[in-house]
Structure 1
């Protein structure tokens, strides 16, 4: 169990990278912007890739009635996610230490992984709901009002994952360093469980 405990500690600790690296990135490309506009989404807020990216995105959104990019205090998620990630990292490290000294079975590692997976799915579901609201809840007094062939307002929702054409922009939405660290960490906890099961038989 010593090796599996160490792997569990390392895997759980990788979640702490989310406090330093962005979880997701949304980038907007258009002919009038030689350098794409981008925003990095962290667990505690949203920042522009470049100094004025957020300001420029908000300016574009204003014309079609979209909301401004939210500040940390305007979304409960930016206060809750750091607590959840910090708590799961701390719990995983504790389980790894207990496993190292043979105080618990490796099934605790699997339990942690299942819980982390559920929380991850809920987080992605919440993120997608925010994108839907962000792209569809438009100001009726917007300067530019565009509709589809049936007269319904167009949706400007960026894709959850991948690339999509939105008017003359191409929106790209992909995970970033923080997400990759989290995925690697979760994979290592799976390895820790499998290794622990084999060595305790």
Structure 2
């Protein structure tokens, strides 16, 4: 059980990378921009890949009626996500320590993995909904009003994952370093649950919690 518990302690600690590295990256490339414009989505805000990227993206968006990119204080998610991640890291480490001292079994490891997975899916859904609103809720008085062949307004929603051609821009959206560190951490906790299950199948007994 100690091997599984060490993995359970290490796994959540990888999520600390979310406080240093971006979670997601969106790049916009076009012939008139030899150096693509980009933005990094962190758990506490949006940052430009280069110094003036956010300013340039907002300038382009103005012509087609898109709002300026939100400041950190404009979205409740940028205040809530750092707290949620910190709480999940603390809970994960405590569960790992409890497992190390044989006070709980592997099901707690899997429970943390499941809860973190649900929170991750909810976060991705929320992010996608924000992009839908950001790319479709346009200013009717915009300088440029472009429509589809059927007359409906063009959507400028960036892809959640992958590449799309948007006017003369190539827009690519992919996980960044923080997301990959989170993936590694989640994988370690899943392995912790697996090794804990194998350990239990081998007949090792977990001491009950003292009251």
- TM interval, shorter chain, is over 0.9
How far 1:200 sits from its partner (Å)? 2.5
How do 1:112-123 residues align onto structure 2 when only pairs under 5 Å count? 112-123=112-123
Task: State the secondary structure of the residue aligned to 2:50.
Answer: coil
Structure 2 counterpart SS, 1:200:
helix
CA offsets per residue over residues 99-146 of structure 1, 9 Å max, x none? 111010110000000001111111110010011011000001101110
Alignment match, 1:89: 89
Q: For residues 142-161 of structure 1, what are the structure 2 equivalents within 5 Å? A: 142-161=142-161
- Give the deviation of 1:152 after TM superposition: 1.2
Which has the larger Rg?
2
> Is there any run of 5+ residues in structure 2 with no aligned partner, and where?
202-211
Q: What are the Cα deviations for residues 128-171 of structure 1, in whole angstroms up to 9, with x where unaligned?
A: 00110110000011011101112111100010000000000010
Aligned residues: 201
TM-score (norm 2): 0.94
- Between the aligned partners of 2:193 and 2:129, the Cα distance in structure 1 is 33
Look up the match of 2:176: 176
The residue aligned with 1:64 is 64
With the length of structure 1 as denominator, give the TM-score of the two structures: 0.99
Aligned to 1:38: 38
Q: RMSD of the TM alignment (CA)?
A: 0.6
Distance in 1 between the 2:69 and 2:29 partners? 17
Q: What do the CA deviations read for 1:12-60 (whole angstroms, capped 9, x no partner)?
A: 1001110100000000000000000000000000000000000000000
| Cα distance in 2 between the residues matched to 1:146 and 1:66 | 12
Helix, strand or coil for the counterpart of 2:164?
Answer: strand
Structure-2 residue corresponding to 1:75: 75
Structure 1 residue aligned with 2:21: 21
Counterparts of residues 100-111 of structure 1 (less than 5 Å):
100-111=100-111
Task: Give the Å deviation of 1:8.
Answer: 0.5
Write the distance in 2 (CA, Å) between the matches of 1:170 and 1:198.
48
